[in-house]
């Protein structure tokens, strides 16, 4: 499989046309968009460049890749992944909201936002990425939201260290895992709650934070207001939104979202092979990955010199290089790493492409990190369709300048 778009699949969501036409018919000419509706309900401003909606309810929407020409992804253009959608605003009203710290602790705590504001404030730029980002490119297709490239973003998170809060509660010796739960609830009570846990080592890491602000603004409701966890370098499954309950436990959390979902095989598996949960381990660190932000898929270029731009990031390591190929991977040339270079954030890159002749061309990008990880042409198949990091690919039309 050399074309990760798969046969006949383009990045333009073909279904969107039909659905859009229907929506237009139903709304008497104004195209309704779930993101707009969510914005109307939450008081957030609708985005200038709308997100690409995969699921209208609960809202799952990704960022168009051209937004990634910016170092920081704006709050209103940041991807949205919902298991159940945001809790009713009353449930996360700042005045009545509490964070509970319980389980294997010396002193159970119930902290208000005011209590939390008394801890030392820290800020950090970090990539947040859904572990299903790129699922649409796996062959055979894996079940789940068919994210393409944009279930990822880079934002500046401000809050307090989780470690400081846990130390205030005092940990008992048997505490090995931290269970996390937010205020969101399923429509039907028989649906399992979104309960996750992280090993204590990650919980006590000084860079793991309880964030109340995103890119300098209060955390928007769709992104977890008033409080969400940020586990930098890890997939976003543990970045629990609307966080209300921390429970110290001896074991990993029980339940569907820890025991069944968000798990990755601990050995290579054949496509279609169905595995027992014990053959799988929870998704944790991100893998090395790059995206092309400019030019965009399907663009027509009439210049003999094009500045290709993009971003690259990895889990707990450091991006060492990004390479670009314009001949289907036969030869690779090194791109220039530019801009900020800080742990957990993505790195911007540029590549001056001298186009030759005219016709359809494909640009590929491939990142490598200091842990020896290199983006493969195609990622290993796994039942959940997680951790896709195959080289990014953008097709453009080059015309004579």
Partner 1 sequence: MSVHVRPQKPFLSRLMTLILVMVGMMGLPSFTMGQAEEPTTDQQAQRLLASRCSVCHSQDLVQQQRLPRDRWEATVTKMVHWGAQLDKEEEAMLTTYLATYFHPEAGPVVALPAAPSIQADQAGRESGAAPTPGGAAARGASLYKQNCLPCHGEAGNGGVGPKLARNPILTQADRFRTTVSQGRGAMPPWGAVLRPQEITDILAWLNTLHD
Among 30, 57, 281, 336, binds partner 1 (CB under 8 A): 57
* Rounded Cα distance, 192 and 239, in Å: 18
130 touches 373 (CB < 8 A): no
State the minimum distance, in angstroms, from the CB of residue 55 to partner 1. Answer: 5
Question: Which one, of 320, 333, 319, lies nearest residue 363 by Cα?
Answer: 333
Among the listed ranges 49-57, 102-110, 306-314, 359-367, the one in contact with partner 1 (CB under 8 A) is 49-57
* Rounded Cα distance, 289 and 379, in Å: 11
Among the listed ranges 12-20, 44-52, 70-78, 161-169, the one in contact with partner 1 (CB under 8 A) is 12-20
Q: Are strands 305-313 and 289-294 parallel, antiparallel or unpaired?
A: antiparallel
Nearer to partner 1, 8 or 372 (CB): 8
> And the tokens for 132?
């299903």
State the minimum distance, in angstroms, from the CB of residue 264 to partner 1. Answer: 18
Among the listed ranges 118-126, 143-151, 320-328, 373-381, the one in contact with partner 1 (CB under 8 A) is 143-151
Among the listed ranges 114-122, 142-150, 198-206, 326-334, the one in contact with partner 1 (CB under 8 A) is 142-150
State the minimum distance, in angstroms, from the CB of residue 228 to partner 1. Answer: 21
Residue 278: burial class (beta carbons within 10 Å; 0-12, 13-18, 19+): exposed
307 touches 350 (CB < 8 A): yes
Question: Which one, of 231, 240, 280, 244, lies nearest residue 259 by Cα?
Answer: 280
Residues 6+ apart with CB under 8 A from 221: 42, 43, 44, 86, 89, 92
Answer yes or no whether residue 90 interacts with partner 1 by CB under 8 A: no
Among the listed ranges 69-77, 182-190, 319-327, 357-365, the one in contact with partner 1 (CB under 8 A) is 182-190
Question: Which one, of 193, 198, 196, lies nearest residue 178 by Cα?
Answer: 198
Tell me phi and psi for residue 88, to 5 degrees: -55, 135
Indicate the length of the chain as a whole number.
401
Beta strands in 140-242 (DSSP E): 152-161, 177-182, 195-199, 209-214, 217-218, 228-230
State the minimum distance, in angstroms, from the CB of residue 126 to partner 1. Answer: 28
State the minimum distance, in angstroms, from the CB of residue 367 to partner 1. Answer: 28
Among 63, 75, 133, 146, binds partner 1 (CB under 8 A): 146
State the minimum distance, in angstroms, from the CB of residue 67 to partner 1. Answer: 22
State the minimum distance, in angstroms, from the CB of residue 37 to partner 1. Answer: 5
Among 143, 268, 357, 372, binds partner 1 (CB under 8 A): 143
What SS3 class is residue 221? Answer: helix
Answer yes or no whether residue 338 interacts with partner 1 by CB under 8 A: no
Nearer to partner 1, 37 or 121 (CB): 37
Beta strands in 90-216 (DSSP E): 99-103, 109-111, 121-129, 152-161, 177-182, 195-199, 209-214
> Maximum distance among all alpha carbons in the chain?
72
Question: Which one, of 2, 35, 31, 29, lies nearest residue 19 by Cα?
Answer: 31
State the minimum distance, in angstroms, from the CB of residue 339 to partner 1. Answer: 35
Answer yes or no whether residue 199 interacts with partner 1 by CB under 8 A: no
Among 90, 189, 300, 360, binds partner 1 (CB under 8 A): 189
| DSSP letter, residue 105 | B
Among the listed ranges 122-130, 135-143, 298-306, 320-328, the one in contact with partner 1 (CB under 8 A) is 135-143
Answer yes or no whether residue 391 interacts with partner 1 by CB under 8 A: no
Among the listed ranges 26-34, 226-234, 241-249, 343-351, the one in contact with partner 1 (CB under 8 A) is 26-34
Nearer to partner 1, 10 or 167 (CB): 10
> And the tokens for 284?
């944790």
Answer yes or no whether residue 93 interacts with partner 1 by CB under 8 A: no
State the minimum distance, in angstroms, from the CB of residue 145 to partner 1. Answer: 7
Answer yes or no whether residue 55 interacts with partner 1 by CB under 8 A: yes
In the chain, the N- to C-terminal Cα span, in Å, equals: 33
Answer yes or no whether residue 54 interacts with partner 1 by CB under 8 A: yes
Nearer to partner 1, 271 or 339 (CB): 271
Which residues contact partner 1 (rule: CB under 8 A)? 8-10, 14-15, 18-19, 26, 32, 34, 37, 53-58, 60, 85, 140-141, 143, 145-146, 186-192, 272
């Amino acid at each position: 499989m050399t074309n990760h778009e798969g046969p006949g699949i383009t990045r333009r969501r073909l279904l969107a046309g039909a659905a859009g036409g229907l929506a237009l018919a139903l709304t008497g000419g104004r195209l309704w968009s779930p993101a707009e509706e969510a914005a109307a309900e939450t008081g957030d401003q609708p985005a200038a460049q709308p997100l690409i909606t995969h699921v209208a309810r609960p809202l799952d929407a990704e960022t168009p890749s051209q937004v990634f020409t910016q170092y920081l992804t704006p709050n209103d253009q940041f991807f949205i992944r919902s298991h159940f959608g945001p809790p009713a605003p009353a449930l996360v009203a700042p005045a009545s909201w509490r964070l509970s710290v319980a389980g294997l602790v010396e002193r159970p705590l119930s902290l208000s936002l005011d209590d939390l504001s008394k801890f030392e404030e820290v800020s950090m730029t970090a990539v947040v990425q859904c572990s299903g980002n790129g699922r649409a490119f796996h062959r055979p297709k894996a079940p789940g939201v068919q994210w393409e490239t944009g279930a990822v973003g880079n934002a500046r998170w401000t809050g307090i260290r989780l470690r400081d809060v846990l130390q205030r509660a005092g940990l008992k010796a048997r505490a090995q895992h931290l269970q996390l739960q937010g205020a969101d609830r399923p429509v039907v009570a028989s649906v399992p709650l979104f309960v996750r846990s992280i090993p204590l080592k990650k919980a006590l890491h000084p860079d793991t934070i309880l964030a109340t602000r995103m890119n300098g603004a209060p955390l928007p409701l769709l992104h977890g207001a008033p409080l969400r966890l940020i586990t930098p370098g890890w997939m976003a499954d543990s970045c629990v939104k609307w966080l209300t309950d921390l429970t110290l436990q001896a074991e990993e959390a029980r339940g569907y979202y820890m025991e069944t979902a968000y798990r990755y095989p601990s050995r290579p598996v054949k496509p279609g092979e169905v595995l027992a949960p014990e053959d799988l381990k929870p998704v944790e660190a991100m893998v090395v990955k790059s995206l092309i932000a400019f030019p965009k898929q399907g663009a027509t270029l009439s210049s003999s010199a094009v500045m290709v731009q993009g971003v690259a990031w990895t889990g707990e390591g450091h991006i060492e290089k990004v390479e670009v190929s314009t001949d289907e991977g036969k030869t690779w040339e090194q791109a220039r790493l530019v801009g900020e270079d800080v742990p957990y954030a993505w790195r911007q890159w540029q590549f001056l492409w001298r186009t030759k002749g005219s016709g359809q061309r494909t640009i590929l990008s491939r990142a490598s990190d200091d842990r020896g990880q290199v983006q493969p042409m195609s990622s290993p198949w796994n039942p959940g369709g997680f951790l896709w990091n195959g080289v990014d690919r953008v097709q453009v039309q080059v015309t004579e300048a």
